[in-house]
Structure 1
């Protein structure tokens, strides 16, 4: 049987071959000042971090754990289904099996932990950060610390980050932060952008597409998407991801304004309830969503978002 991972990549390769390739721009940084020089440092391009080639993954006990982590990452429902509550995979938002810059790559996240997170008010280990992904983005439940699923994902992330500096920001980590839009982000304009650039893959109803029981293009709202506590529910995060990565194979072709507008449209639809729900939408918004970048608790098309989200 053809390995599911290569089947998944083959599907994406077919999509990518049908559209124009994307170009990624390398970031710049200041070169080191030469010794005894009074001259200002000259700028030189920073070489983007490159994770190790898949062919170099070891085959020993650690390598087997890392390989399992890759399988969990790309086919999360299949390999970690008891912890997943929707049809997404980790790779739905962290593209190219967690390798792609500007789509919150694993090699960019691993070296930044342990770190304090305001989301839960304490220092998180990388394993605890992964637990949050299952709770929010996967709308599921957190694997216990030490669970083989978490260990495998940590192993894969550790291997991808081989050679990356610890605790330093690297080009391509996380999602890009777009400047504020020239015009206030608008639902109606976003709807038009979605119909023109997104619906072909994600469906007019936002429910995505699957093939052979495997999600190919993820649902963007509704019961099978991420819940209200997920990072992609923040319009700023979604706009940065969309600008850098969407449409698939045509990254960077949307304007900043279009990215903000379509992110607002996407995040203005109902989805599963925030697991931190405090008993009312008002209290939950005040505690966790008091931000202009969150649509939770806002009224759109006569509906209070979050009021009908299932728990």
Structure 2
């Protein structure tokens, strides 16, 4: 094939920081990008039952780049009907083969696991685990037709779960495990499965996660909030010193995974990701001690 001139890619979470950067990068490389966002889409887009809309190419998720190669579509990865409609839209657009599926949509649920609500924990897995599975299952026939690649965006915490990041870490670890299994399952058709592991990024998703924690904390009684107040303060102060990487580094990895003749099964992105990879190889007690020190928890007096 040529360098992306006629190849099509489905990318979920296109309205976020990584999604917008990846959408722009792929469109610039000549890919036709089906840029999926959760909210309503306005623009000259034709889809099943939608007719022809007018107005600038924008989404409710922060705005998509304007580019002739970009096809915005509405897709809620947690809604089976929405997933089915997205498949119908892609087929209705004349696309019968995909070069890539990029499962990028995701959310972050964080905080002490004792205080995380069941609803938030379920939503974490609905978006980060069950959503990618549903999208992959629905679009695999098109991927098989295009002899394409499946790319799942996990996280550095998939290998090392940090304190107060249990929900997001567990969901990304689950997605990592599913990717490992499917890498062997799809090898029969020569379809590569690639995992991209980013670390701390300068994107709105982390601000949204912090706002969600603040909202959840406000609903707790003072005694419940006080349980982890000192620890959370220490971890927050530690993270404030961390340097976030630009989302473009993940977009570059996505482009590389889609264009390399033989893509790697895993791309680690960002310096903190490499550090966590080293920590993952250490004995658990050593790892816990180092993490507690890095995150400031060793300075918090033990509960009496």
TM-score when normalising by structure 1: 0.24
Higher relative strand content: 2
Higher relative helix content: 2
